[in-house]
Amino acid sequence: MNKDFHPLLKGAIELHVHSSPSIFPRKQTDWELIEDVKKAEMAGVVLKSHESQTADRASLIREKEPGLHVYGGLVCNYFTGGLSQAAVDAAIRLGAKIIWMPTFSSDEHQRDFGKKKTRFFNSSRPLTHPSTGITIWDENKKILPEVHEILELIAEANIILATGHLSPEEVVALVEAAKERKVEKILIQHSDLGIARVPFSLEKELVKQGCLLEKCYLACSPDFQDISVQQMAESIRELGANSCVLVTDYGQKHNIPPIKALSNFIDELLVHGINENEIFTMVNQNPKQLLGI
């Protein structure tokens, strides 16, 4: 084990990482990220992109590194066709393991975070992107037919539905619709992160419904400071490690590399009373269960 990484990373999976190629500034290329995954003796990683599907990139990496579980997916943003059944179907056929609801393009994101000048989504010139964000429902808050079609594709493929940057109210409606469509793997995205924060009372309800929650290091970072690691640890103890996965959402150019961030996250949670068995559950067992490994 490389001394730069925590031993509990051995065999682990990181479900939420950003790397390049990307239209947004990234710390590492896919291959630089994979080198850290190998040094940490991890089982694998999921590549996420707000602006393109990543299943094809992941398949190329697996060809060169057949011992690693490197997967991708599709975020239903304007960049990739929005709430497009055709785009989701194509991504699944290419090997997508996660379909994320809108992130950058969601109405929740665009109404608040999208209007702020940040280091996360700046590019050399303004993006070609509608000012109106995507919602999963109509004006009467009825789930759109295309969302139901996407949920059926996810259920048929038995892959992960992730909630993206939807509002808490949308998350509730989406989970209900997903359950009706027999989606078995539902991941609530960075529930503590201010971009689309989920109230703790709702986190507890979602856990009761069998959802897993991302406990995300970025929420504790200087960029957001939405929650301290101590508060994160307290929430994990109350919710139960069996219902949580540890992710970083790192990859931004100004931050440390994602795998180093995950190692630091583990160190800090241990200091605040989360035990090694709980860490193992959240970085190893739960991600593998979601990915079908």
pLDDT digits (tens, 9 = 90+) for 8-67: 999 999 999 999 999 999 999 999 999 999 999 999 999 999 999 999 999 999 999 999
At residue 239, the pLDDT reads 97
Measure the CA–CA gap between 26 and 51, rounded to whole angstroms.
13
At residue 1, the pLDDT reads 60
- Give me the count of residues in the chain: 293
> What CA–CA distances, in Å, run from 258 to 42, 45, 81, 192, 212?
13, 10, 28, 18, 21
Is the predicted pLDDT of residue 278 greater than 80, yes or no? yes
pTM for the whole thing?
0.94
At residue 127, the pLDDT reads 78
At residue 11, the pLDDT reads 98
Is the predicted pLDDT of residue 270 greater than 80, yes or no? yes
Is the predicted pLDDT of residue 103 greater than 70, yes or no? yes
Tell me how crowded residue 91 is: count the other CB atoms within 10 A of its CB: 28
At residue 194, the pLDDT reads 85
pLDDT digits (tens, 9 = 90+) for 207-237: 999 999 999 999 999 988 999 999 999 999 9
In percent, the amount of the chain with pLDDT more than 70 equals 95
In percent, the amount of the chain with pLDDT more than 90 equals 88
For the chain, the structural domain boundaries read 7-291
* Average pLDDT score, the chain: 94
Is the predicted pLDDT of residue 197 greater than 70, yes or no? yes
Q: Which residue has the higher pLDDT, 109 or 127?
A: 109
At residue 111, the pLDDT reads 84
Where residue 204 falls among pLDDT bands split at 50, 70, 90? very high
CATH topology of domain 7-291: TIM Barrel (3.20.20)
At residue 114, the pLDDT reads 59
Please report where in the chains the tokens 């493929």 appear, as a residue.
157
At residue 122, the pLDDT reads 61
